[in-house]
């Protein structure tokens, strides 16, 4: 029998039931599932730490300032999601793969469609002064067979830690971006820059929160890859520079151990570094 | 022994540990307690319903629009807190009282300091066409003894469901507001209007969410009271009109069963209705 007093009127003990009983029978079942779980966990959190009225005021102010920081160039709520591990968690839940397949990580805000497609071996750095690097490896299926015709879409920052779209007056469009397609051997190789670490935008409420948590805003140096092929799950990922000091403290928790790649100095080579990484795709 | 791989690198299973291990030793202990619990419950929710990438996008957009709706006149995040029962939960946690003491409910956004102090019996309605009502009762301690010198600060909407501050060009300031002080008998009585139900602002993202949940935006008719006296806990509360159709579906979950008051029609009286309610204060 339903205890009507727990759902008709608000009580501290019956707060979850009071709120969730209000949802209409006719509402979207998935929205109901999500909101019911959200209310349950939100109330459990609030009760567990016994949020004070002053803390609630601070939270309202924090969310309001976060909203006011958002415009067409800045997404402070995504940054907030990133620094509490939520963006990575959603990515992980939606890209589960068997052991051995290359793991996903977050896309980030700097990918653009329509980067130039180059012949294998091309240099994607249109303007650069940083350390040069050859990226090399293969695209394989889970049994180790090469995948022909895989599309490799890559992008990175420049030697100062900025992507081309962040510096439209300084960097040419498509600097350090390119698309490649594998041949029968599944292999890829191209030249670019050795990525460098950079801070996420930290001049807003999220940066203030990071400061209060005693955390820095930096992401370890990484090369972005989207690897796709017909019949396989698309992999959106980075490779991380193996000697980066921020590998275990990425502000957005993007690092997975399997994505750390060696960046080896090259003696008398075309580039100063070489980084080898094989991508293993899971069937779709 | 600490499993470093669970805290150095992000995994779906170890997501909470990865995020919470990052907090600095030196941070504020209360902030650490709150954030640790928040991350735990946020991740548990996300895993329980397996939020999709599209749903995450919707959530980012919803919070962004909610933020953009906030200005000096409108606080959409407070409305959001209200409709998921969070405002009432924080109020409940911070105003626990023994059985028999008058319960709190939310303050709401329409209280103002400095309402006129009247002689007992005065009419607080400066301009009104609605049903008139006498409010009457006593302020008592938990043993039932009258409290002398208690301050009673009251405010209500008008017959159209608006507070004076919402209609500065239509209603005189302090319409349906007043402050009274009890004498030795602890009694109070004054005249005003029988409150009417009204909707919370529902032309923004929170109103859209209410629509998707199949909920209406209305609050049942209520009279606001702040009752305070030296040596006692201040009570911030409403009395609710007993025949209101929204009593069991208040959009902000403000109704507690003990706060429902009778509003009785009066034959040939000074007012059309009379509502009697005793306030019982708990020692500070």
ipTM over 0.85: yes
pTM of the model: 0.95
pLDDT tens figures, A213-270: 999 999 999 999 999 999 999 999 999 999 999 999 999 999 999 999 999 999 998 9
Instruction: Pick the residue of B16, B18, B22, B97 with the most A CBs within 10 A to test the interface with A by mutation.
Output: B22
Contact A12 B53 (CB under 8 A): no
Work out the angle at residue B215's Cα, subtended by the Cα atoms of residues B211 and B218, and round it to the nearest 5 degrees.
110
CATH code, residues A98-281: 2.60.130.10
Residue span(s) of chain B under CATH 2.60.130.10 come to: 81-281
Report which secondary-structure segment, H or E, holds B76: helix B76-83
Would you say residue B61 has pLDDT above 70?
Answer: yes
Question: What percentage of chain B exceeds 90 in pLDDT?
Answer: 95
CA nearest to A257 within chain B: B9
Would you say residue B3 has pLDDT above 80?
Answer: no
Q: What is the pLDDT of residue A2?
A: 65
A218: which strand partners? A199
Is the four-CA dihedral B127, B130, B132, B133 of positive or negative sign?
negative
Task: Give chain B positions within 8 Å (CB) of A257.
Answer: 5, 8-9
Identify which of B232, B206, B231, B230 has the alpha carbon closest to the alpha carbon of residue B217.
B206
Contact A128, A114 (CB under 8 A): no
Distance from CA of B184 to the nearest CA of A (A): 33
Would you say residue A177 has pLDDT above 80?
Answer: yes
Would you say residue A128 has pLDDT above 90?
Answer: no
What's the DSSP call for residue A130?
Answer: S
Burial of B245 (0-12, 13-18, 19+ CB in 10 A): exposed
Report which secondary-structure segment, H or E, holds A224: strand A222-228
pLDDT tens figures, B245-257: 999 999 999 999 9
* CATH class entry, domain B81-281: mainly beta
Contact B15 A81 (CB under 8 A): no
Contact A45 B35 (CB under 8 A): no
d(CA B138, CA B40): 46
Contact A63 B67 (CB under 8 A): yes
Pairs across A and B, CB distance < 8 A: 217
């Amino acid at each position: 029998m339903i205890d009507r007093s727990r759902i008709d009127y608000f009580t501290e003990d019956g707060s979850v039931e009071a709120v969730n009983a209000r949802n209409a029978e006719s509402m979207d079942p998935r929205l109901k599932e999500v909101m019911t779980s959200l209310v349950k966990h939100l109330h459990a959190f609030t009760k567990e730490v016994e949020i004070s009225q002053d803390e609630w005021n601070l939270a309202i102010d924090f969310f309001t300032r976060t909203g006011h920081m958002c415009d067409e160039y800045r997404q402070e709520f995504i940054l907030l999601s990133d620094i509490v591990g939520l963006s990575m968690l959603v990515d992980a839940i939606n890209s589960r793969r068997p052991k051995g397949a290359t793991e996903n990580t977050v896309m980030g805000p700097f990918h653009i469609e329509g980067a130039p497609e180059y012949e294998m071996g091309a240099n994607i750095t249109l303007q650069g002064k940083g350390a040069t690097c050859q990226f090399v490896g293969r695209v394989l299926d889970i049994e180790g067979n090469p995948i022909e015709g895989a599309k490799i879409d890559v992008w990175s920052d420049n030697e100062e830690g900025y992507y081309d779209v962040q510096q439209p007056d300084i960097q040419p469009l498509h600097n350090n971006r390119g698309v490649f397609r594998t041949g029968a051997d599944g292999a890829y190789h191209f030249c670019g820059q050795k990525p460098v670490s950079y801070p996420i935008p930290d001049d807003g409420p999220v940066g203030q929160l990071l400061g209060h948590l005693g955390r820095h805003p930096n992401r370890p140096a990484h090369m972005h890859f989207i690897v796709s092929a017909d019949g396989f799950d698309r992999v959106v990922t980075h490779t991380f520079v193996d000697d980066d000091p921020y590998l275990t403290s990425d502000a957005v928790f993007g690092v997975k151990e399997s994505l750390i790649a060696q960046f080896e100095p090259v003696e008398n080579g075309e580039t100063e570094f070489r980084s080898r990484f094989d991508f293993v795709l899971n069937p779709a």
